[in-house]
Structure 1
Amino acid sequence: MSDTVSPVAADADADIARRVRPSARSGFGDRLFLVWTRASGGFVLAVMLGVGGYLAVRAARALRTAGWSFLTVESWNPDGGRGQFGIAAVLIGTVLVGGIAVCLALPLALGSALYISEYAPRKLKRTLVGLVDLMAAVPSVVYGVWGFVLLQYKMTGIARWLATYLGWFPLFSVGGDVDVHDPVTPPLVYTASSLMAGTVVAFMITPIMCSIMREVFDQAPAGEREGAYALGSTRWGMIRSVVLPFGRGGIIGGTMLGLGRALGETISVYLILSMHFEIQPHILQTGGSAVAPLIALRYGDSSDFSISALMAAGLTLFLLTLVVNFAAAAVVARSRSGASS
């Protein structure tokens, strides 16, 4: 039997192939979408550069006056001249509050995301997702008032216990004339501290971190999940060998995004933290500092030069958050979930 294909059949096959195979040329909709995405990305970049440029221009006067002492001086008296103002104290305080918030929020967010993604029944899962998203939408001032009125006074017992039994560690020690072993020591010693502010900020960033982690965990390959079960793995074994390695990028990305918000949080920290313009590494003790509350506290009654100094502090915080986000993006891009997305 001959394998020769008739010219009519060949023409019919070619016609079907032309109709089925997508055209390599971009249509109007594709070109419009490409222009829109490029314009959106360019607009976001332009806004970021505009914010950074505005802060740099407004901060130039104060930076020229202070020089490198702006990074080393602890006090804040811009009108006093060179050497009288700097961000050493508020920058360290910002990192302390953000670090406390992330350390407390990470286990909560990771556990919540794993439960919603892997353990919760289908009907309950939808409810929990809605509740987490609702928590993320609560204004920061609500968290701040809740922490100022209720939470910090309820946590004084925990702070006292940490100071009593872990006071040998510098972060948990209490300076001054306070005797942590004295039962009549007033609890106000432990209020308005970096720990209280960081705890409130932790509740604020937990929903954001949880949502990002949950979305990534849900994208773990179903084939690898089933393969783990087929090899006799338990549910926790499957999570440990499949979900967590795949979702490493989401864990890091969610944590860094939460850290970025924690570093820039203003109102809740402003309501709770008692501003103290010297380096204060004792997180249990009353007093602390942060860049964003400093700007909110001093902006209204500042002179032109003081506003320039505040803009310099804001520029430093802006650059700090950029460094954190770019570092997180580099780490996420090297993970499986980050590379696939």
Structure 2
Amino acid sequence: MQANPIDTRQPSTEHRSRADTRHDALFRRLLKGCALLVLAALLGAALSTLWGGREVLFGQGLHFLTSSAWDPVNDDYGAWAPVFGTLVTSLIALILAVPTSFGIALFLTEIAPAWLRSPVATAIELLASIPSIIYGMWGLFVFVPFMSRIEPTLSDTLGRIPLIGKLFQGPPLGLGLLTAGIVLAVMILPFICSVMREVFRTVPTRLKESSYALGSTTWEVVWDIVLPYTRSAVIGGIFLGLGRALGETMAVTFVLGNSYDITSSLLMPGTTISSAIANEFNEAVGVHRSALIALGFLLFVVTFVVLLIARLMLRQLARKEGR
């Protein structure tokens, strides 16, 4: 009698299924570990700066947050001047960079001829790759002398306009909040512009062509088709550039003037959180060092709040689009 051959296909299939299950479980644990590692690093950075600045944060409390004094000799520290400078320079950078980035991205995706798009896009990417210290050196040796020559004109013209005139009154130093904001705008422009350009390219061509066929102008197509289709990504790119502006150190340090005085003029020197830390951390000891670490914690909080606002805005937009 001939023996039936042994069927080995079923055990092999079961073995492969068990192996695949183990591999999938291992892969999921690996990905989960990567995600938890990011959260652990974020939480560790926050807690370490909070612990390092506890002497000032818990010792001085609201005085540290609301005072503009900065006196290492008498250990009297206030964070308001660095926080004020950080917010003002970042706001100036956004006001200048966002419209310019929008114009460049619109030009590259809707108007520019094919032969010009690639060189301009490459130039924008090169701007993003330039180190910040190079921007700082350019700002100090080239842009600051230029600003010192045009600031008298700003004072004589914009400085005489009611309500906003105080923003443009001051000595022609070249160093100041306005100069730092313009340098920051140049730095964050490539990031915002690149995001806008890429998301504008994702708009289906048939939607734009349909709008053109109905007689719409280029501006109407952009306002009614392109922006509604990409507004979530555009807002995300803007807040990405804002995050870069909030934490910039070297470029701002070169051109800001590093003064702890708070004035209403954008032409006067000021300071930011990152530049204050960079200038003084090497010589700081004791309470002075704790104050600088506390500034780092405040920068972390400010950045977190900005990103949280961005997430809430994107979620609200997503809800409206779902309707």
- TM (normalized to structure 2)? 0.85
Q: In the alignment, is residue 172 of structure 1 matched against residue 172 of structure 2? A: no
1:148-186 C-alpha deviation (Å, 9 max, x unpaired): 0001211334322221122242552425xx6xxxxxxxx
CA shift, 1:59, in A, is 0.8
Q: In the alignment, is residue 266 of structure 1 matched against residue 260 of structure 2? A: no
Whether the 8 Å contact between 2:146 and 2:174 is mirrored in structure 1 is no
The AA in structure 2 aligned to 1:109 is: S
Give unpaired runs (5+ residues) of structure 2. Answer: 1-19
Distance across 2 between alignment mates of 1:314 and 1:202:
22
Map of 1:119 onto structure 2: 111
Instruction: Give the CA RMSD over aligned residues.
Output: 2.4
Whether the 8 Å contact between 2:94 and 2:185 is mirrored in structure 1 is yes
Map of 1:221 onto structure 2: 204
Pick aligned residue for 2:286 from 304, 324, 331: 304
Map of 1:199 onto structure 2: 182
Q: How does 1:251-290 map to 2 (within 5 A)?
A: 251-285=234-268, 287-290=269-272
Whether the 8 Å contact between 1:190 and 1:284 is mirrored in structure 2 is yes
Map of 1:3 onto structure 2: none
CA shift, 1:239, in A, is 1.6
CA shift, 1:143, in A, is 0.6
Distance across 2 between alignment mates of 1:32 and 1:217:
39
Q: In the alignment, is residue 331 of structure 1 matched against residue 292 of structure 2? A: no
Distance across 1 between alignment mates of 2:91 and 2:44:
29
The AA in structure 2 aligned to 1:279 is: I
Q: Number of residues paired by the alignment?
A: 300
Q: How does 1:132-147 map to 2 (within 5 A)?
A: 132-147=124-139
Distance across 1 between alignment mates of 2:77 and 2:119:
50
Q: Percent identity?
A: 35
Distance across 2 between alignment mates of 1:77 and 1:156:
29
Give unpaired runs (5+ residues) of structure 1. Answer: 1-25, 179-188
Q: In the alignment, is residue 316 of structure 1 matched against residue 310 of structure 2? A: no
Q: In the alignment, is residue 230 of structure 1 matched against residue 213 of structure 2? A: yes
Distance across 2 between alignment mates of 1:338 and 1:217:
20
Distance across 2 between alignment mates of 1:120 and 1:307:
52
SS, match of residue 288 in structure 1:
coil
Whether the 8 Å contact between 1:152 and 1:196 is mirrored in structure 2 is yes
Distance across 1 between alignment mates of 2:128 and 2:23:
35
Q: In the alignment, is residue 148 of structure 1 matched against residue 130 of structure 2? A: no
> Are residues 43 and 255 of structure 1, via their aligned partners in 2, closer, same or farther at CA, if it must alter by over 3 Å?
same
CA shift, 1:132, in A, is 1.3
Distance across 2 between alignment mates of 1:117 and 1:165:
37
Distance across 1 between alignment mates of 2:287 and 2:321:
47
